[in-house]
Amino acid sequence: MKLKKEASSKMWNTLRNTTQVIILFIFIRYLFDEDPSNDRIGWSVLIVFWTFKGLFDAVEDRRKGNKKSMIANIAFVIAGLGILVWQGMQVIF
């Protein structure tokens, strides 16, 4: 039982770190290219990174039983999603 839980935890950490590294590479690519119109995409990708990080941290806090931190992370995720929706609406309209 303990080995299965450790394997699941290790897989979760690998998934979490891989996702965050990929998002950071996308951020760097768009923010530091020569086309200044891509800066908006780069900053939006950075907000996606922080939103995913908050989501992963909220799940980890739930597993550990740290409810105050979990609620703060969920509020952070909601704020990040709100900013992304707002930015998306500006691009569409």
What span, in angstroms and rounded, lies between the C-alpha atoms of 93 and 89? 6
Whose structure tokens read 């780069």? 42
Q: Could you tell me the residue ranges of all domains in the chain?
A: 2-92
pLDDT band at 79 (very low <50, low <70, confident <90, very high): very high
3-state SS of 7-63 is HHHHHHHHHHHHHHHHHHHHHHHHHCCCCHHHHHHHHHHHHHHHHHHHHHHHHHHHH
In this predicted model, what pLDDT tens digit does every residue of 28-77 receive, in sequence order? Answer: 888 888 888 888 888 889 999 999 999 989 988 998 899 999 999 999 99
